[in-house]
Amino acid sequence: MSSSESHDTSRPSDGKRSKRATKSSATTTAKSSRGKRRTAKRAARTSEPVEIASQARTSKRPAERLRYAVVGLGHIAQTAILPAFAHAKSHAELAALITHDRTKLSALGRTYGVDALYDYSELRRCLREESIDVIYIATPNSEHHELALEAAASGVHVLCEKPLAVTERECIEMIRACERAGVLLMTAYRLHFEAANLKALESIRSGAIGDPRIFSSVFSFQIADPDNIRLRRDLGGGPLHDIGIYCINAARSIFRAEPIEVQAWALNSGDPRFREIDESITATMRFPGDRIATFTCSYGVAATGWYQVVGTKGDICVDPAYEYSEGLETQVTIGSKSKTHRHPKRDQFAAELIYFSQCVLDGIEPEPSGWEGLADVRTIRALQQSIERGCALELPPIKHVRHPVPQQRIDRPPVPKAPNLINARPASE
């Protein structure tokens, strides 16, 4: 979630949901592509990136639309995921909505022309009867694991919001379940397809700033509502899982490596909002080659979200770096000369839908895969343990991880205007 993302936590409701059993031609294609999974899995286990995103834009064979079910209709779904289907309609069809909130189902079903409306308890029936190819999980963090296992058991591909899960064990179970079922699992890191962040990666890899040595970042905002799910430990809340994960993922992508040692400190001002979780966390991560990353994530200070990479010849600053609701900016400074690249607001979620749909149709393991999601969650868990123990912790090597490449960039126009929210609030409220 970014600083404006929120998940669906509506309470259960009774009543039947309308259903539609229309079959999609993409269903047959998606199932036939499973024979290619073995090759895809082998590719996912190599250290070299598989540069496939350009296929979403340049593939000569006609695109076929996959049928998506969106599970969880909170703020992020309403402001970003659901509108994104209009910009990804060549690849993805919004076929079903799933939540406990009957008001949301009814209103959003009308808005997006979706007749297949289901309760969480009807997930398996929805996936079967609506011929769903892909499930997009946008629920509280604590629910990702169970929903992904259910989708895999139904032979449905999984696109899951970050963090992939709350614990490493849950991430591994999700990965293994999808492998056994022959379906793809992608962690929804939208910035892996976004121009400003990929421009920064491209500049760093070209040697423009020399050898990148230092990464620093701050991502923060104020949470006003004491009932915000980010403040609930049982739902996987807290700044590390929510916004610190962006800083971790950016550092790993920039250094193209995994941290080998981490240490973190929790900061709490005594504000009653933060009874269950930490208000702020400052962390340090040491990477191979004497490279260092530091970041602070907080729910108790003013909104900001940037990172800077300092190399032996210059530096790169991306500010804002993590948002989807505005344009992003990259500044490269070499000596006394600076050059600014301004990137207008784009539909980052449509890019995800296009990319993952093409991966499914072509039978290619996505980047970011479930392994990428696991890599961040294991770092988060190590940072939490560092706080508890009051010391630095070493991390063992991790396999199967790839990193984003500039060729993954996909541009789509922004959502024209923010839709009216139905029983949902922004994160900062």
Same domain, 219 and 179: no
| Cβ(237)–Cβ(427) below 8 Å | no
Same domain, 233 and 314: yes
Same domain, 337 and 356: no
Same domain, 45 and 173: yes
Q: What is the pLDDT, as a whole number, of residue 294?
A: 98
pLDDT digits (tens, 9 = 90+) for 115-158: 999 999 999 999 999 999 999 999 999 999 999 999 999 999 99
Between strands 337-343 and 212-220, the pairing is unpaired
pLDDT over 70 (residue 305): yes
Same domain, 113 and 219: no
Q: What is the pLDDT, as a whole number, of residue 429?
A: 53
pLDDT over 50 (residue 22): no
307-327 burial, b at 16+ Cβ within 10 Å, e below that, comes to: bbbbbeebbbbbbbbbbbbee
Residues 259 and 262: their CA atoms lie apart, in Å, by 7
Tokens at 195, concatenated: 């121009």
Range of the domain at 227: 195-343+378-394
Mean pLDDT of the 253-278 span: 94
| Cβ(163)–Cβ(380) below 8 Å | yes
- Count the alpha carbons within 13 Å of 244 in the hemisphere toward its beta carbon: 32
Asked if residue 16 is part of any domain, the answer here is: no
Coil, strand or helix at 160:
strand
Q: What is the pLDDT, as a whole number, of residue 393?
A: 97
pLDDT over 90 (residue 110): yes
What CATH number is given to the structural domain containing 382?
3.30.360.10
Asked if residue 334 is part of any domain, the answer here is: yes
Q: How many domains does the chain have?
A: 2
Asked if residue 3 is part of any domain, the answer here is: no
Asked if residue 324 is part of any domain, the answer here is: yes
Mean pLDDT of the 49-73 span: 60
pLDDT over 80 (residue 34): no
Q: What is the pLDDT, as a whole number, of residue 63?
A: 53
Task: Categorize the per-residue pLDDT at 428 as very low, low, confident or very high, splitting at 50, 70 and 90.
Answer: low
Asked if residue 422 is part of any domain, the answer here is: no
36 vs 384: which has the higher pLDDT:
384
163-202 burial, b at 16+ Cβ within 10 Å, e below that, comes to: bbbbbbebbbbbbebbbebbbbbbbbbbbbbbbbbbbbbb
Same domain, 168 and 38: yes
**Is the N-terminal amide bond of 212 cis, ω within 30° of 0?**
no
Rounded to a whole number of angstroms, the CA Rg of the chain reads 21
Query: What pTM was computed for the model?
Result: 0.86
Asked if residue 1 is part of any domain, the answer here is: no
**Is the N-terminal amide bond of 368 cis, ω within 30° of 0?**
yes
CA distance readout (Å), 107 to 6, 95, 102, 173, 274 = 18, 15, 9, 35, 34
pLDDT-wise least confident of 53-67, 283-297, 374-388: 53-67
Same domain, 116 and 92: yes
pLDDT-wise least confident of 164-178, 268-282, 287-301: 268-282
- Count the alpha carbons within 13 Å of 251 in the hemisphere toward its beta carbon: 30
Q: DSSP H helical segments within 256-369, as ranges?
A: 348-362
Mean pLDDT of the 27-48 span: 39
Same domain, 43 and 147: yes
39 vs 172: which has the higher pLDDT:
172
pLDDT-wise least confident of 33-47, 345-359, 381-395: 33-47
pLDDT over 50 (residue 51): no
| Sequence-ordered list of residues with C-beta below 8 angstroms from that of 369, at least 6 positions apart, any chain | 44, 185, 186, 187, 400, 402
Average pLDDT, the chain: 87
For a pLDDT cut of 70, what percent of the chain falls above it? 85
Same domain, 176 and 38: yes
Same domain, 160 and 209: no
Residues 234 and 414: their CA atoms lie apart, in Å, by 34
Q: What is the pLDDT, as a whole number, of residue 82?
A: 97
CA dihedral of residues 87, 92, 95, 97 (deg, nearest 10): -70
Task: Categorize the per-residue pLDDT at 228 as very low, low, confident or very high, splitting at 50, 70 and 90.
Answer: confident
Mean pLDDT of the 224-248 span: 89
Same domain, 357 and 238: no
Asked if residue 336 is part of any domain, the answer here is: yes
Asked if residue 408 is part of any domain, the answer here is: no
pLDDT digits (tens, 9 = 90+) for 151-182: 999 999 999 999 999 999 999 999 999 999 99
Same domain, 257 and 109: no
Tokens at 182, concatenated: 């022959």
Coil, strand or helix at 369:
strand
- DSSP symbol at 213: E
Q: Is 118 left (phi over 0), alpha (psi -120 to 50) or beta?
A: beta
What CATH number is given to the structural domain containing 128?
3.40.50.720
| Cβ(324)–Cβ(2) below 8 Å | yes
Q: Angle formed by the axes of helices 348-362 and 25-32, to 10°?
A: 60
